[in-house]
Amino acid sequence: MESWASNAVGTGIKPSSAIADAALKDRVQRLWLRWTDESDAEWLTDFYGQQRRAARELFIAGEVFFRLRQRRPEDGLSVPLQLQMLPSEMLPLTDNRVLDNGHVVRQGIEFDRIGRRVAYHFLRRHPGDITDPGLAGETVRVPAEMVLHIIDPVDAGQLRGVSRFAPALVKLFLLDQYDDAELDRKKVAAMFVGFVRRPERDFDNSGERDAQDEPLLPLEPGQLQILDEGEDITFSNPADVGGNYEAFQYRTLLQVAAALGLPYANLSADMLKANYSNTRAALLEFRRRIEAFQHSVLVYQLCRAVWARWMDTAVLSGALTLPDYERRRAEYLACNWLPPRWDWVDPLKDIRAEIEAIEAGLKSRTQAIAERGYDASQVDAEIAADRQRERDLGLWFQRRAAPVPVDQPEPD
């Protein structure tokens, strides 16, 4: 779960506004950055921390809910909007009924007569919370436009999420049982240090053995044990773990990894069988899966929806002034969401390949920089500022294939 969330979100999937006006874009980005620290209605983390928590919930439960909470101006927020994260248990699956207005509630979701989602009927408190029994079972109707239902659907028409653990639970349960049985076998075998063989003796009239049948002294380091005539000791030699134990563990964990959609090394932290080739192949497959999840689930369902509601709220509250916003809303909402960059498997080879692709015209610098999780315009501005500072301070750093300034002729 931690591996999935760290790869899918990491430090956050961050926006880069597509507004053409550089000054206006900078104001938008600065206001957004300030608001991200205020986004959590519980004040436990920032917006990017909420993204990571959402990825965890999606992995565990298959879904998560965010309630959009409009705030008052006197609350002192940069933009009067916060997000309240609700786990899937807050929407009861058993809530299925027909309402008086003809709407149907299925699995806690209210649909109108033509099948549109119009509301969610959340529990007032978590079903496992016993600190407020007075609210047990009570629900509240929240309009659908105030709720973001984040779900990674498997089948068409699916209403609620499915945990990624679902196809792996049986294997994990059986593996846990096998591990416990193997551990118990070793513990029982280790309790027997040795066995004493004594010659057959007669019982006295009381039915008890004679004094020569006293037990041996407890074993201690350096101890000499005196045995009677005819007695000998055979030390226990319990069987080691079965030869198929490790192979069985490995094969079962491979099946679990495939069911969870994780590379074997990410699941087990076992790098003994890893080498460059199979690690790269596994990472490429894993990253394709993660990229699909990032853009089709987190960006589409969460990030874009929050960005649009945040922009509307910022303009309506006066926190942001955008000329002719109502008519040009789609233009102002245009935004690129940049996931965290992937670490290089082989940095030298990968960066050389990136440079050659750019020089050959197979990709742009903008695309290459975006793939690393940065905004190209911001990177270029930082490079220009660095070089201007170097010139002002009389510094010069040798750079390989540095671009030629436009006001200077290219070298022969």
> Residue 66 — φ and ψ, nearest 5°?
-125, 125
Strand pairing category for 104-106 and 97-98: antiparallel
Q: What is the pLDDT of residue 113?
A: 93
pLDDT value, residue 68: 97
Q: Which residues of the chain have pLDDT under 50?
A: none
**pLDDT at res. 333:** 95
**Tokens matching residue 174:** 């059986």
pLDDT, position 77: 95
Q: What is the pLDDT of residue 105?
A: 96
Query: What is the reported pLDDT for 406?
Result: 54
Residues 6+ apart with CB under 8 A from 380: none
Within 303-367, strands assigned E span 335-338
If we measure between CA atoms, which residue out of 181, 165, 175 comes closest to residue 251? 175
Region for 270 from its dihedrals, namely left if φ exceeds 0, alpha if ψ lies in -120 to 50, beta otherwise: beta
**pLDDT tens digit sequence for 116-170:** 999 999 999 888 888 877 777 889 999 999 999 999 988 888 999 999 999 999 9
Tell me what pLDDT residue 340 has. 85
Say what the pLDDT of residue 128 is: 84
- What gap in Å lies between CA 60 and CA 299, rounded to an integer? 19
pLDDT of the residue at 397: 79
Strands lying side by side in the sheet with 147-151: 81-86, 63-70, 147-151
Amino acid occupying residue 79? V
Q: Count CB atoms within 10 A of the CB of residue 189.
A: 13
